[in-house]
Chain A
Amino acid sequence: MRTPRFGEGVSLSPDEFRLLRDLFASRVGLQFGPESRYALERRLRERLMVLKLSSFAEYHHYLRFGMHASDEWDEAIDLLTTNETYFFREDRQLRAFQHEILPMLETLARPRRRLAIWSAGCSTGEEVYTLAILVHLSGLFATRAGNPAHLGPERPERPERPERIEAVPRSAPPGPLRPPSSRARDGAGTAWAVRVYGSDISRRCVAAARRGVYAESSFRATPDDVRKTFFYERADGWHVDDAIRQVCHFGQMNLLDEDRSRVLGRADAIFCRNVLIYFDARARKAAIEVLYDRLNPGGVLFLGHSESLLNVSTAFELLHLRDDLVYRRPVSPRGSNQDPDDPS
């Protein structure tokens, strides 16, 4: 009797594809059309081999009912999600955020001196660090430890970097960003608590984001001066400056998990770009409801340019900016003094 080779010659039948399709849609909102059957088979077959399963029907059962299903879900999601991104993606929208939204949020959040931004579906973290850099560049939110840096003649001199790239231990970075100029609106000594959260359903992506080390391909849209100011190069790639890193926090999260999302508290701005396009209508609606609940009154939601809330939700109001369009949670009748961490 020949030893069976798990995964050998196993194909994904249309019925099995339907079962897996529905399971991925209901649990994590991922949508697969009939044209994805071959790709799904190719990517998941190795899991049958590792788990010693003989069919995709068994795999479906394992995902649904298995003792170690949660670990296997992480593996499957890592295999099924594509995570291509880079810094300063969709520049026009980011300019609107920096020049129009941040001043608006500064006014709104001034009484509590706390700014929270959430990048929902952050992939490998580029968007999170981008947003943190923009907050810094705005000069509006002086933080306790790091302080806003400005490009231009007023920028303090940075310590000279060595000509050659050397393998300097990470515990000895080139140096923090320098203290603020007098342009900070709130005056000396009154600091803001700035937090930029990044979440993704892929464990692998979150780990990469937390590492904060990037290859050249992540900088295709990054101005050179920004790269030189906020990153430093080492043998293994470009590292994010510590002053930026320390305001960024990462976690693994399923956007459809309403309970889990509450750990974030409320945000003043949420970026959920090019994520919802992968969801079916039901999942999209559920995700939007989570995002609405996680916004402070007056907070804004940025979606990808090909996305909109049409036919999904009318709870948001549209905010027309000079360069873009965003959705805003209406300001509460009680005004912006409502405690943003109030989960109600």
Chain B
Amino acid sequence: MTDAASAVRWLFEQAEPEARRVAVHQIAKVQGREAPELLLRALADDDWRVRKEGTLVAAALERREEVVAALLAAMEDVVNIGLRNAAVEALVAIGPDAVGALLEGFGRLDADARKLAVEVLGGVADARGTAALARLLSDEDPNVRVTAAEALGNSGRAGEESRALAIAALLAEAAASDPFLRIAVFDSLGRLDARVPWSVFEPYVDDPILRRHAIAAAARAPEPAAIRALAGATGDPSPTIAREAIVALGDLVAARTTDPEILEWARVELGASEIGPETIRRAARDVEDTRARGSALLVLGLLHRASDVPLLVEALGDDDVAERAGIAIDRFGVEALEPLLEAARKSKALVRAASLDRLASLEGAPVSVVRKALRGGLVDTSIDVVVSAVEALGPLGEARDLRKLAPWVWHADARVAAAATNAASELAARHIAAARAVLRAPRPRHDPLVLACILLGAIASTQPLRDDDVQVLQRALAHDDAHVRCAAIDALAQGGGDAAADAVMFALADEAHDVRIAAVRALGRLGRAEPLAGVVGSTSDPVVTATALRALGEADPERALAAARPLLAHSDAALACAAVEAIGQLATRRSSKRPPAHVVAACEDSLFAALDHPNGEVVKLSLSLVASQPGPRALARLGSCLDHPSWEVRRVAAELLGQDPSAGARDLLRASYERERDPVVREAIASATSVRPGADSSGIERSDAPALGSREGEAGE
């Protein structure tokens, strides 16, 4: 017996479970055949924490074949249930290496042990396991059959072929006489997101046990009869069934936004129901059940009853469902005007603010009516509402609104001040006479130069400035308040010209950081590449560098790339990140501002190079940009990042690959799942392999998603 093994054995003799748990950790240091034996001892412990620790350690032990053999033998222990269950968990943790041995020894296992073996196969993403599970649907033991059906629900993680095989096998048992087997089959088909013709589930719509599963499946079978069943189920006396139907209908609405025929079926069927819409409204008010609430809101939008709009508007105040509420309100168009106006006056603050936002962008709404509501919002007691109103008056306001908002650039609340700055600038550009009148108005309590700079900047964007305007800006540029100097620089950038550029350039030496940033930004707008390149070369401030590179990208993309490239390998991750962002911006610009092709190609090459940076943050940033470039090169580099030392990089790589529908991406993910040890990354990989191509994270399908019946091997082909 080795010393390490002796120490472990001694610790295992202690009464304190914590001591025994510590012993489990030490098993990894034990060489030779004693390690598997000690592992089994841990898994047979009375204390769950010791057993749990054992399952985690199992995958880290050497002599894996012996470990697997020992665990398989433990699964046949008829006395110690804890040991058997722990052995299952440990085999799952070991992963595909356990599958081969498990399958080889399957024939000699009794029914109980076979059931446990099936749990192992269900926990490991492996195509061999899926094939075995499919065969086990015909096992002589009913418990094994049911467990196999449940386990097949996880087959998506083993890749598309496994998923398809699992679906086919499950469908063959959909009409099984055993109700428990049917339940497991239906549940697994749901987890596999299988699109199955409604005829498979229709016979069970009235079955008291299977009805819930049939209703859930109806959302994936968008046929008139399925929609009818869903609509009817929204009024079901069972709250569980009703909820299932509402969620399924909401998913249908979210997923079929480009299919008007399906949506029209749903709307007609719902309209014909008496109880269903009331149930849906109750769900739309239930703040405890966010999932059902969001679905209910979408369905109410589809139902299109004017009386429901106030309910939808109220939901705008809840971040968890606001997006769906907004989608639903959009269906009503200008019909939503009156409820929005009412809510903007009377509802709680967040709803008032959101209502004003909606009103400002409501197609067909009379501008005068909207303006009146926005002006009402200016005197609201809630700052959120005031900010919304101020922001919206920028594009919609009149000259009189400029006179009202102008003093608010000095508002004590930074949000109101920022919104007023933006709004005043927009209004001034459209109402120049009013802007000049505001400039002339006395402001005894405030330094007028800030406002003057904002207004003159706006005027300068539409026409040349007068000489006295320029003098004002020059005076502001020399002001002792950095805020005023920033405003002057922004204004000069709007006007353009050599004189403005010279004035701004000197501000690069300003003692205030914010002023230097404003100067860098301004030089970008003025198209002055030379000083910007100088800034990049002379500063180590990451924010100044990032701003300068971005600005240089506007002025001269080729010089920006030349300035950024050397920074990609900089040891300071902040500077390297700034360079990656700037290059990424150049490479992903829209067509009207896109740099020459050779610059874009060079940017792409640079981003690939940045993947070799030792800092994980730089790599993550580059990964996102690389992933947007289709092709085998990007795929290969993403795949290599699945082995990166940083778990965060591996997770991002998995998520990005999950959005790639190609077989190559699936293969890379599957292979990495087998070797990945970090639980967060494993979950990301599992989720990535489960994501259906064509769906984004909100569940809204893109229009290029495969339609019903187009998958090979699925029923309906």
B461 touches A49 (CB 8 A): no
Bound: A57/B549 CA distance, A: 14
Is B594 part of the binding interface, using a Cβ–Cβ cutoff of 8 Å?
Answer: no
A61-B322 contact, Cβ under 8 Å, with A5-B422, A18-B624? no
* B496 contacts A1, C-beta separation under 8 Å: yes
Contact of B319 among A42, A50, A66, A281 (CB under 8 A): A42
The reply on B13 being an interface residue by CB < 8 A is: no
- Pick from A37, A43, A281, A315: contact of B680, CB below 8 A: A281
- Tell me whether A18 and B652 are in contact in the complex, defined as CB-CB below 8 angstroms, given that A6-B422, A35-B697 are known contacts: yes
Check B543–A67 contact: CB distance below 8 A. Answer: yes
Nearest Cβ distance between residue A311 and chain B, in whole angstroms?
A: 7
Interface of A is mostly: helix
| B-side contacts of A19, CB under 8 Å | 620-621, 624
Shortest Cβ gap from B476 to chain A (Å): 16
Which 9 A/B pairs are nearest by Cβ-Cβ distance? Answer: A34-B697, A39-B319, A15-B624, A65-B542, A65-B574, A38-B323, A5-B422, A3-B425, A50-B418
- Kindly supply a per-residue 1/0 record for chain A positions 1-36, scoring 1 wherever the CB is within 8 Å of any chain B CB and 0 otherwise: 111011110000011001100100010000000110
Chain A residue with the shortest CB-CB distance to B291: A35
A306 within 8 A of B: no
Nearest B residue to A23, CB-CB: B617
The answer, yes or no, to whether A305 is at the interface (CB within 8 Å) is no
Among B18, B418, B490, B525, contact of A314 (Cβ-Cβ < 8 Å): B18
| CB interface residues, B 260-306, toward A, < 8 Å | none
Are the CB atoms of B543 and A62 closer together than 8 Å? yes
Chain B residues with CB below 8 A from A57, complex form: 581
Question: Is there an interface contact between A38 and B322, defined as CB atoms closer than 8 Å?
Answer: yes
* Cβ contacts under 8 Å, B496 to chain A: 1
Check if B543 sits within 8 Å of A65, measured CB to CB: yes
Known: A34-B698, A64-B574. A8 touches B422 (CB 8 A): yes
- B93 beta carbon closer than 8 Å to chain A: no
Alpha-carbon distance A50/B422, docked complex (angstroms): 10
B contacts with A: majority SS: helix
In contact, B680 and A280 (Cβ under 8 angstroms): yes
Say yes or no for A339: interface residue by CB 8 A criterion.
no
Which residues of A does B touch, CB under 8 Å? Answer: 1-3, 5-8, 14-15, 18-19, 22, 26, 34-35, 37-39, 42-43, 46, 49-50, 52, 57-58, 61-62, 64-67, 280-282, 311, 314-315, 317, 330
| Beta-carbon contact of A61 and B680 below 8 Å | no
Contacts of A314 in B (CB 8 A): 17-18, 21, 49, 53
Is B458 engaged at the interface, CB distance under 8 Å to the other chain? Answer: yes
* Interface 0/1 of B646-657, CB less than 8 Å to A: 001000100100
Distance in angstroms between the alpha carbons of A246 and B620 in the assembled complex: 49
CB-CB < 8 A to B542: which residues of A? Answer: 61, 65
Complex CA gap A258/B133 in Å reads: 48
What 1/0 flags go to B43-56 for Cβ under 8 Å of A? 00000010011000
Contact B426 A61 (CB under 8 A): no
Q: How far is the CB of B113 from chain A (nearest CB, A)?
A: 27
Contact with A along B440-472 (1 / 0, CB 8 A): 000000000000000001100100000000000
Give every chain A residue within 8 A of B18 (Cβ-Cβ): 314-315, 317, 330
For the complex, what is the distance from the CA of A66 to the CA of B544, rounded to whole Å? 9
Q: Which of A26, A39, A46, A62 sits near B320, CB closer than 8 Å? A: A39
Interface membership of chain B positions 487-526, coded 1 if the CB is closer than 8 angstroms to chain A and 0 otherwise: 0001000101000000000000000010000000000010
**Shortest distance in angstroms between A142's beta carbon and chain B's nearest beta carbon?**
37
Please tell me if the beta carbons of A3 and B461 are within 8 angstroms of each other in the complex.
yes
Contact B620 A22 (CB under 8 A): yes
Q: List 21 A-B contacts (CB under 8 A).
A: A1-B461, A3-B429, A5-B422, A6-B422, A8-B422, A18-B655, A19-B620, A22-B620, A26-B648, A38-B319, A38-B323, A39-B320, A49-B418, A49-B422, A52-B418, A58-B546, A61-B542, A61-B578, A64-B577, A65-B543, A314-B49
Instruction: Tell me which residues across on chain A come within 8 A of B679, comparing CB atoms.
Output: 281
Q: Which residues of A contact B698 (CB under 8 A)?
A: 34-35, 37-38
Q: In whole angstroms, how far apart are the Cα atoms of A22 and B650 in the complex?
A: 12
20 A-B pairs besides A5-B425, A61-B543 with CB distance below 8 A are A3-B457, A6-B422, A14-B697, A18-B620, A22-B620, A22-B648, A38-B322, A50-B415, A50-B418, A57-B581, A61-B581, A62-B543, A65-B574, A67-B543, A280-B680, A281-B679, A281-B680, A314-B18, A314-B49, A317-B18
Q: How far is the CB of B293 from chain A (nearest CB, A)?
A: 13
Query: B435 at interface (Cβ–Cβ under 8 A)?
Result: no
Q: How far is the CA of A83 from the CA of B27 in the complex (A)?
A: 45
Looking across the interface, which residue of chain A has its beta carbon closest to that of B425? A3
Across the interface, B577 reaches (CB within 8 A) one of A18, A38, A61, namely: A61
Q: Does B394 contact A (CB under 8 A)?
A: yes
Contacts A2-B461, A6-B418, A66-B543 given; indicate if A46 touches B578 (C-beta within 8 A). no
Contact A14 B696 (CB under 8 A): yes
